[in-house]
Structure 1
Amino acid sequence: MAQSPTAGVHFRRDLYLLSGTFIMVFMGAGAQQAYLVPYLSRVTHWSSLQCSSIVACVYLSMMVFRLGNLRLFPGWSDRRYTIVGALGYLGFTVLMALLPWVPYYPLAVIGAWLWGAAASMMWTGTSMQILRLSDLAGGRHGTGMGILYTSLHAGWLAGAVVLGICYDALPTERLYLVYVIAAAITLPGNLLSAFLPASGRPSRCLPTLAGVVEVLSRPRAQIAAGLQFMAALSYGLILGAFTRYVETEYGTEWIWVAVSLYPATLMALAWVGGALNDRIGQAPVLAGGFLAGSLGLGATVLWHSPWSAAFTAFALGLLNSTVSVSASTIVGKAADPERRPLVYGAVFACRDLGIVTAALGGTALSRAMPMSTVFAVFAVVFLGCAILSTRLSRYASQSL
């Protein structure tokens, strides 16, 4: 599609506003997730299972409301989805700041479910706006989504550093200030979202069970959803078991490879992965990403060194910098605009299921077998995913 000068101006302005919103929201309310479980364990008397379950509730809620929001709020515009969803991120940080005075577990569970519903709303609204803007930019869906994910990871990395410094410096009785700071960082993102131009009344296919089954019965969607699920397992792995493994094997001075190198790689390569999606297609990009993840985990198994752990963190960052961007690109290229929210919700619900699986099963798996065996299993699985990715080229013209 030819791009007019006017379309170009609107693309730039909208893209900067959406990216700016994501930078600030994930610098504050997004990055706090890295400290949520230890924070809860310090300011409440809950068990470790109760603290961990709050994170699981967030992603269970996201999985449900990827499609549930489309049913509950069918008339809301994509712009409103972004604005209201971003406010949900802010609300959760405020609730966590108040938790030392109202340490009620059911209240935290309700807050987690509301945050998950808001997060899925913000992601749906923002992704649909990015895909629409990419239509106007000649169908460069990968580039548009890559820029959005780069903004997200840049915010997350900066926020993790700032909040981490605060978390380490504050005594328990003042630890709530971490969440006060997270809320203060998030608020400018909420203000930026209010300046987004009107996105118009939406024209969406309402989700039904038959509609979801129909989408997931198509090989292109099946492969994208399956790869999302497996990549989410690695996301849970790098945040959980891998971090503990690095600390145990090489000492706390090497935790940075999991805490900093991983998101830094995501930030640096998300835009590159998106641009490559537009140039060479999704199959080679995904195959390369999963192959890198397999090699990274294999390096940790075969070579016991902190530098092999650093390579693993880089490889898993490379993997996850490609998968969600590629899946979003598939939605943009394969689905008509009115079907995109349905297809996006079905495919990305599988990602949320993968994160929940990793959160609930990762610790049990690491206790059942040595970590080197766990990494070897994932290395083989990711190699299989790389091979599966190549099949996407067979269905490059299949519509969703």
Structure 2
Amino acid sequence: MTNYACSETKAFPAAKTFEDFKEVNDERLDEIERRGTSDVLLDEKLERIDAHLNRQDERIRSLALKAARPQLEGGEPRLVGEHGRAFQAYIRRGDAGALGRLEAKALSIESNPDGGYTVTPEVDAMIGARLAQISPIRRIATVRQVSSATFRKPFASTGFAVGWVGEQVARPQTTTPTLNALDFPTLELYAMPAATGALLDDSAVDIERWIADEVETAFAEQEGRAFVVGNGTSQPRGFLTSTIVAEASWSWGRLGYVTSGAAADFVTLNPSDRLVDLVYALRAGYRQNASFVMNRRTQSAVRKFKDTQGQYLWQPPAQPGGVASLMNFPVIEAEDMPDVGADTTPIAFGDFRRGYLVVDRIGTRILRDPYSAKPYILFYTTKRVGGGVQDFNAIKLLKIATT
């Protein structure tokens, strides 16, 4: 018998593990059908396999992230040129003279020891590329760079009047559309990595890579939560903080939902039918590029769902670097999605490329602080990011409720 309580370092093919999962779950379901309850040992075995599937998914994502990172070893250092040398001098020794003159010459937004200095374009691009890999909503949303504090996107709340007319029939004047605008302000996201003087004195240390490594996880965790449940005041507005209504009552400015059919969980009989309802609540034009978004605990629950032919709806990644699928749609794991529980919305489904907008203000800034945490040197790193729903047609939710 396969030992699923073994060390995480031992590799198991995802497809083989899922076959074991299906076999044990089928056995558990047969036991429930015969006796009205499942065997405790079978439940424990299924939980071990499920936990192992979760670990495999995590390893796959980690390997994909490492593969996607820019290769910095070998060749010429990336921080070259006048700006690169000035940035090196500031980070390593605190010499801000050359960097300050360069930024003043470029007519940048005022930079000084109080506000910090803009990182080189190479470092800024690297941080953005890594965030795109490890921040789940950013990975599937539209990302737009702006130079202003707020991005305003106009939209037509009423479309142009259209119709059919004959070749020689007079064309009536069409009505003027009503235009509104959605505002996406950028808010400050920060991280504060620390370094020793010895690290900065070591010329072999790649400063560019060190900064990106230190801030990427902190940035990704903060913005990942904000894109899901952010309040829109001191952080981007998450899609789950939008007003939600039953799909039958949907109107622009709200996200529609379908229900699970049970007050605090999925229905016991044919729970997959509710996922079908969720998929088809979305218009056809949005379904083509749609994804499911949920956390790992919800994903563990839906792994057990079958269709009317007894086929499992969840499937493991088909190849290294891939993602799991549910009903042939990608499953994006976002840990900030709520767990299954009364009145929660643990599953989102939609075309997030059209539905959610991430706004990055150009430029990441660093303030070097050698005083606050001696003997360490702190680097207060800030980036301005905004976000919010841009198309309320494109995202639907599954709510745990009866109505």
Tell me the TM-score normalised to structure 1 length. Answer: 0.25
More contact order relative to length (CA 8 Å, sep ≥ 6) = 1
Higher-helix-fraction structure: 1
Tell me the TM-score normalised to structure 2 length. Answer: 0.25
Higher-strand-fraction structure: 2
Instruction: Indicate the structure (1 or 2) with the bigger Cα radius of gyration.
Output: 2
